[in-house]
Structure formats: structure tokens, C-alpha cells
Amino acid sequence: MPLILTPRADAAEPLAIDLAGIVPERVAPMELAEIVRLPVRADGHACELGELFHAEGDAADLAIECRGDFSRVHRVAAEMTCGVVRIAGGVGRHAGEAMSGGRLEITGDAGDWLACELAGGDVRVDGNAGDNVAAALPGSTMGMRGGRVIVAGSVGHLVASRLRRGVVAVGGGCGEGAGFELRAGTVLIGGAVGSQPGLGMRRGSVIALTDRPRPPASFRQGAAWRPPFLSLLLRSLAEAGFTPARGFPPGNWRQWHGDTLAGGRGELLHPA
């Protein structure tokens, strides 16, 4: 049985709860009485986990389940290295921040900064996500550094900003600046793509699966062809449950090289 966390009905409802540090590898060897005494922060004040959440089960199998309203709970699974965290519903900001392993599953929506600076592992969201998915934190030169993020719905602005490595796949549309200052890695967008995709990118790929976005003015048009890696990537994502990649029709893709102001070694791809 996993460790199950449920918000306490008899507790005052804070505006924001920081759940950083409550990860499978930390709580797995603990007794339940120890787990409920772990420190967390609510509205900036220190308190114990058991004051805010009812806990049952154990995490001996490296699994934590979060049930109920977690929309005000932030940094869930932050810095997780192994195991699995499942959220049955929505979750707040910075979920999966700086993860280096394991799996984060969210059945609802996620807030801003989902999987920011992810270093490894898998993040899956069945709903939508906010701004700065897999992005760099303020002042950082690199965003996501490895792993895979799949969002079934839409995301906000600056998805995969300063991405260094890994794959970010979005089933719906995205806001402005997808792949902003991309270092390397791959971003796929299944729906409408906002303005200025790939602006300032150095390397890597921004792929619009159905839309034909207007590239930044500093991009130059390349050939219309079918890159061999794309079929392999789409097949891998389809096997992982990314619906837009299933049965994708063959055909050529228009390639744009950019950003020429940053070396021009990146690419924007869309159906030709």
C-alpha cells in the first residue's frame, strides 16, 4: 500500500503549502508516526505534515498518492530521485521541480513551473499546465536538463525555456515563446503554437505537429523533407501514451534554421 496523503478537513486552509522534501526515497524507511512529524511550510510558517494532511499506509514501495484538492500545494515531488508520486487531481506550482529520477503522474491540471529544471525521470499531466513548463528558474542559464515531460492538454507561455536536454511533448496548444533560448533537446506541440517559437534558440528542435507557425524574423527557410529521427521520436511518444503521435501520416516537413542571431544551429519544423 502506498503512502496516501489527504488534506485534513478539520485544519485551517492555508493559501499556500510547500511540500518540498516529502519524496518517496525520504519517507520509505520511516514509520507513519515519523512521517506525520516531518516539517513543511504553510503560508511561510513552519508546521508538521500531520497538521495539514491525513496520512495512511506507508511508502515502503517508494510510492506516494496525493488525493483531494492539491491546487494550493506547491513543489510536490520536488528533487525526487526515484519512486512514483501520483496526484489524483490538480496541483500547484513547481511540481516536479529539479527531479532527477522517478515518475510524477498528475490526473488534473498543473500550475506554473511544472518540471522546471528537471534533470531526469518522467512527468505526465492528463490535463493542462501553466507557464514555464520545463523552463529555467529566474537567474538560471539552463532549464530542463534531461528526462521527459508529457502534457496531454495545453500549456502557457515559455514552455521549455532554455531547455538543455530531454523531450517535452504537449498535446494541445501553447503560448508565446515556446523553446525560448533553447540550448538543445526537443519540444513538440500538438495544437496551435503561439508567437515567436524558438526565439533565441542555439540548438535543438521545436516541432509543430499540426500548426504552421510563423517563425521569428531571424530564422531562414530550409528544405522540405522528412527527418529520419522524427518517425522514431513519434513512435516512442505514441508508446508512452502521447495521443497526437499515434498514426501520424507520412509526409514532408518544412524546416526553418535559427535563430541566426544565436548561431543558427537550431530548427523549427512544421508540416509542409
pLDDT of residue 81: 98
Q: Report the C-alpha gap between 182 and 180 in whole angstroms.
A: 5
Percent residues over pLDDT 90 in the chain: 95
Whether residue 159 contacts residue 140, with contact meaning beta carbons closer than 8 Å, is answered with no
Instruction: Convert the pLDDT of each residue in 52-110 to its tens digit.
Output: 999 999 999 999 999 999 999 999 999 999 999 999 999 999 999 999 999 999 999 99
pLDDT for the residue numbered 47: 96
Q: Of the candidates 144, 199, 140, which has an alpha carbon nearest to the alpha carbon of residue 169? A: 144
Looking at residue 223, its pLDDT comes to 96
Q: Note the pTM of the prediction, 2 decimals.
A: 0.96
Residue 49: left (phi > 0), alpha (psi -120 to 50), or beta?
A: alpha
Cβ count near 173 (within 10 Å)? 19
Burial of 254 (0-12, 13-18, 19+ CB in 10 A): middle
Tell me the C-alpha distance between 68 and 54, whole Å.
Answer: 11
Q: Which pLDDT belongs to residue 39? A: 97
In this predicted structure, what is the pLDDT of residue 159? 98
The C-alpha atoms of residue 181 and residue 28 are separated, in whole angstroms, by: 39
- Going by C-alpha positions, the residue among 64, 79, 121, 74 that lies closest to residue 94 is 74
CA nearest to 67, candidates 86, 82, 93, 49? 86
Pair type for strands 17-18 and 167-170: unpaired
Using CA atoms, how far apart are residues 86 and 42, in angstroms rounded to an integer? 21
